[in-house]
């Protein structure tokens, strides 16, 4: 899908404040998702400053934090600090510690690839203990079945929700936001508003610097460990975004891996294979060495997806992901380049539970094809002229 970009005549901070003010002007309850990460800190700072200046009312605001149990200590400390700030400003702050279901990239070899946050059957090995003020149950949740994406819309159905999602984080988010159906006054169909959707990563870091917002130390540790700016993402330990950097972070949190492995025994895989296909590789040396392999990725994919899928995919979810890749392979058969087949192969090796990589490959293939057609048409026009 083509995405049209339009240049605005105001800066991104001013635009974000206007969006936030418009949301509060509806008079409805305003929910704000908060995670303690860099994007959510920008949104929190904007909202808190506007409360302080009297532009919006704290009485309308309910801040929601979904505690995923397996989080870095500095993230927990950051959320505690901002909880105090919002409570002192007169807003509500709901800290949920619920049995929600997450995908665990460490459990790809087992029948169940999920991780249950705050699993009541594993209290003795929890990564950390919930704070005393945490909300531990909800009638709106189906424990151990729902993920938080299913739970949050039920909690916020009587109002409007603000979230710090940005389009530049990924191709998938850009496409999703471009395709959102808009209703009256520009509100999305799911009653969610993205005030900083058009911020670039540089806008985020600049805003935090200029506003003197303390950032969680994990970002500094990840940067010191050689993780690129584009990969400075913080989530629960067992997601594919964070799992590969766990070993590097053990230097800064000496007992980290011990606690993680106690909670998820398969996490030892991160220590063994952090620089492999399983976690998308991390070092340039590894990538260079593996590129020298004379692998026919198209043939390898055909073997995995058509000839012997049962040999490579064992769980229902893995088989579902493989089916989607099989459809894509057939659909792009005459358009894909060798590099596209390699990406498909590596994504299946590493796991693509949310099909993010699949959507990115689709985008890359069809954009490249459109660009090729455009260049061919232009060359033809020049020769005829």
Per residue in 216-233, pLDDT tens? Answer: 999 998 888 777 777 777
Separation CA 296–CA 273 (nearest Å)? 23
pLDDT at 174: 46
Is the confidence at residue 149, as pLDDT, over 70?
yes
Do residues 204 and 198 lie in contact, with contact meaning Cβ atoms separated by under 8 Å?
Answer: no
Among 189, 210, 231, residue at a domain's last position: 210
Give per-residue pLDDT as tens, 72-114: 899 999 999 999 999 999 999 999 999 998 877 665 545 556 7
pLDDT at 25: 95
Q: Judge whether 38 lies within some domain.
A: yes
Instruction: Say what percent of the chain tops pLDDT 90.
Output: 42
pLDDT at 177: 46
Is the confidence at residue 240, as pLDDT, over 70?
no
pLDDT at 278: 52
Is the confidence at residue 342, as pLDDT, over 90?
no
Beta-carbon neighbour count of residue 315 at 10 Å? Answer: 16
| DSSP tag of 352 | -
Q: Judge whether 263 lies within some domain.
A: yes
Is the confidence at residue 385, as pLDDT, over 50?
no
Do residues 109 and 266 lie in contact, with contact meaning Cβ atoms separated by under 8 Å?
Answer: yes
Instruction: Say what percent of the chain tops pLDDT 70.
Output: 78
pLDDT at 258: 83
**Three-state DSSP class for residue 46:** helix
Is the confidence at residue 383, as pLDDT, over 50?
no
Is the confidence at residue 247, as pLDDT, over 90?
no
User: What domain range includes position 319?
Assistant: 297-374
Angle at 322 between CA 319 and CA 326, to 5 degrees: 135
Identify whether residues 126 and 250 lie together within a single domain: no
Q: Judge whether 346 lies within some domain.
A: yes
pLDDT band for position 287 (50/70/90)? low
Is the confidence at residue 56, as pLDDT, over 80?
yes
Q: Look at 10-24, 279-293, 360-374 and tell me which has the smallest mean pLDDT.
A: 279-293
Identify whether residues 223 and 272 lie together within a single domain: yes
Is the confidence at residue 193, as pLDDT, over 90?
yes
Q: Judge whether 381 lies within some domain.
A: no
Is the confidence at residue 36, as pLDDT, over 50?
yes
How would you class 305 by CB atoms within 10 Å of its CB: exposed for 0-12, middle for 13-18, buried for 19 or more? buried
Find the CATH number of the domain harbouring 71: 3.40.50.620
pLDDT at 33: 95
Identify whether residues 324 and 197 lie together within a single domain: no
Give per-residue pLDDT as tens, 150-187: 999 999 999 999 999 888 654 444 444 445 444 444 44
Separation CA 362–CA 384 (nearest Å)? 33
Identify whether residues 144 and 52 lie together within a single domain: yes
Identify whether residues 302 and 268 lie together within a single domain: no
Is the confidence at residue 381, as pLDDT, over 60?
no
Is the confidence at residue 18, as pLDDT, over 60?
yes
Identify whether residues 202 and 75 lie together within a single domain: yes
Do residues 325 and 358 lie in contact, with contact meaning Cβ atoms separated by under 8 Å?
Answer: yes
pTM of the predicted protein model: 0.72
| DSSP tag of 129 | P
How would you class 47 by CB atoms within 10 Å of its CB: exposed for 0-12, middle for 13-18, buried for 19 or more? buried
Query: Taking Cα atoms as reference points, which of 26, 109, 163, 124 lies closest to residue 313?
Result: 109
Identify whether residues 147 and 262 lie together within a single domain: no
Mean per-residue pLDDT of the chain: 82
Angle at 39 between CA 34 and CA 44, to 5 degrees: 50
pLDDT at 313: 84
Give per-residue pLDDT as tens, 58-71: 999 999 999 999 88
Identify whether residues 188 and 260 lie together within a single domain: no
What are the contacts of 321-330 at 24+ separation with CB within 8 A?
Answer: 321/348, 321/351, 321/352, 321/353, 321/355, 321/358, 322/348, 324/355, 324/358, 325/301, 325/352, 325/358, 328/358, 328/361, 328/362, 329/301, 329/302, 329/305
- How many CA within 13 A on the CB side of residue 34? 32
pLDDT at 80: 98
Decide which of 242 and 131 is more confident. Answer: 131
């Amino acid at each position: 899908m083509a995405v049209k970009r339009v240049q605005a005549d105001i800066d991104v901070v001013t635009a974000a404040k206007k969006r936030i003010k418009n949301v509060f002007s509806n008079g409805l309850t305003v929910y704000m998702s908060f995670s303690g990460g860099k994007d959510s800190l920008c949104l929190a700072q904007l909202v808190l400053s506007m409360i302080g200046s009297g532009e919006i009312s704290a009485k309308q605001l309910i801040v929601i934090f979904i505690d995923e149990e397996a989080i870095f200590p500095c993230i927990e400390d950051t959320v505690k600090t901002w909880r105090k700030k919002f409570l002192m400003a007169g807003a509500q702050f709901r800290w949920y510690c619920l049995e929600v279901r997450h995908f665990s990239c460490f459990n790809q070899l087992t029948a169940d690839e999920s991780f249950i946050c705050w699993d009541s059957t594993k209290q003795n090995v929890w990564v950390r203990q919930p704070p005393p003020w945490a909300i531990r149950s909800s009638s709106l949740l189906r424990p151990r079945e729902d993920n938080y994406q299913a739970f949050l819309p039920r909690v916020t159905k009587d109002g409007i929700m603000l979230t710090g999602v940005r389009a530049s984080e990924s191709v998938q988010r850009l496409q999703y936001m471009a395709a959102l159906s808009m209703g009256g006054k520009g509100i999305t169909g799911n009653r969610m508003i993205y005030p900083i959707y058009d911020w670039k990563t540089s806008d985020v870091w600049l805003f935090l610097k200029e506003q003197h917002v303390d950032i969680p130390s994990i970002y500094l540790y990840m940067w010191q460990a050689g993780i690129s700016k584009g990969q400075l993402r913080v989530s629960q330990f067992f997601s594919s975004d964070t799992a590969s950097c766990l070993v590097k972070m053990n230097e800064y949190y000496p007992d980290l891996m011990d606690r993680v492995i106690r909670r998820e025994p398969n996490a030892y895989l991160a220590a063994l294979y952090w620089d492999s296909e399983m976690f998308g590789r991390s070092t340039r040396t590894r990538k260079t060495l593996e590129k020298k392999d004379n692998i026919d990725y198209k043939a390898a994919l055909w073997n995995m997806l058509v000839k012997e899928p049962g040999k490579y995919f064992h769980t229902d979810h893995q088989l579902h992901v493989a089916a989607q890749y099989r459809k894509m392979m057939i659909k792009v058969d005459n358009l894909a380049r060798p590099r596209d087949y390699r990406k498909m192969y590596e994504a299946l090796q590493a796991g693509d539970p949310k099909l993010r990589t699949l959507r990115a490959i689709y985008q890359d293939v069809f954009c490249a094809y459109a660009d090729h057609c455009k260049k061919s048409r232009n060359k033809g026009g020049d020769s005829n002229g």
